[in-house]
Amino acid sequence: MTAPLGGQVAVVTGGGSGIGRAVVERFVADGASVVLADVTEAAAEVAAQIDPTGRTVVFQRTDVSRAEQVTEAFAVAMTRFGRCDIAVNNAGIVAGGEMHEDGADEALERLWQVCVAGVWYGCRSALAVMRPQKRGVILNTASTAALWPTPGFPAYGMAKAAVVHLTRSLAIGYGRDGIRANAVLPGPTRTGIFPDDIAGDDSLDQHYGSRMSLGRMIDPAETAAAFAYLASDSARSVTGTVLQVDGGYRPIYT
């Protein structure tokens, strides 16, 4: 059987942990080569774990809030692998605080730089490579918070809603260049985005599971399966969509 992503090349931001790491693992299993772009040096170790030979996974230290570093990650895809077919703009942080609270502006600034500008730079760098080749897939990680406000996280939800809007704009703007753009909206997923002291805790499942039809949090590999589908030729007519991978999550407002 042909590998679904055989011979393709992807850049995955935030590939050092959680959903991004699972996407790298899945893409490699599906036959792709990957530039794992992440701000933390520890992600180099993750790349080496996924591919000890270094032939299919290359780590590139990248702060997505810095345009030139994002452009460089795509340049690495071209120099190492000669092409770039898939861009996964996934790196993200979470920052909370209601609008009236101290630090709300600082949280917005950080979120905007990483979750919005970072995705923007990734999309722009991807387009520079994909438009001339007349093909490509852009996948942006948003969140169910783009659809339903999470109490205490207004800036995060606003940033993720911006990602959805940008993704749809790209689908309209570049479909005739052979470029598809889709957003994945994870619900509560067990990753490093949760603070260490509660990350492995059952209370997470209790809190979020009670708000999810499936009654449990999501494993990053399950989210990665959605990315793999959207990246593949099976989704060749799918663009401008938002795919929720949320176990039926609906917040409860009290």
Minimum CB distance to ligand NAD, residue 230 (Å): 15
Identify the CA nearest to 218 among candidates 194, 190, 196, 195: 190
Nearer to ligand NAD by Cβ, of 130 and 145: the residue is 145
DSSP 34: E
Please report the DSSP string for 174-210 in residue order: HGGGTEEEEEEEE-SB-STTS-HHHHT-HHHHHHHHT
The bridge status of strand 86-89 relative to strand 136-141 is: parallel
Nearer to ligand NAD by Cβ, of 64 and 171: the residue is 64
Nearer to ligand NAD by Cβ, of 74 and 233: the residue is 74
CB of 248 within 8 A of CB of 214? yes
Nearer to ligand NAD by Cβ, of 131 and 161: the residue is 161
The angle formed by the CA atoms of residues 225, 231 and 237, to the nearest 5 degrees, is 115
Minimum CB distance to ligand NAD, residue 42 (Å): 8
Give every CB contact of residue 63 below 8 A, 6+ residues apart in sequence.
39, 69
Angle between the N-to-C axes of helices 118-133 and 154-174, in degrees from 0 to 180, rounded to the nearest 10: 10
Nearer to ligand NAD by Cβ, of 104 and 113: the residue is 113
Minimum CB distance to ligand NAD, residue 155 (Å): 12
Minimum CB distance to ligand NAD, residue 142 (Å): 7
Would you name the residues annotated as active-site residues? 156
Instruction: Give the interface with ligand NAD as residue ranges (CB under 6 A).
Output: 13-14, 16-20, 38-40, 43, 62-65, 90-93, 114, 118, 141, 143, 186, 188-189, 191-193
Give every CB contact of residue 177 below 8 A, 6+ residues apart in sequence.
130, 131, 134
Minimum CB distance to ligand NAD, residue 235 (Å): 20
Cα separations in angstroms, 211 against 6, 38, 41, 244, 254: 38, 31, 35, 15, 13
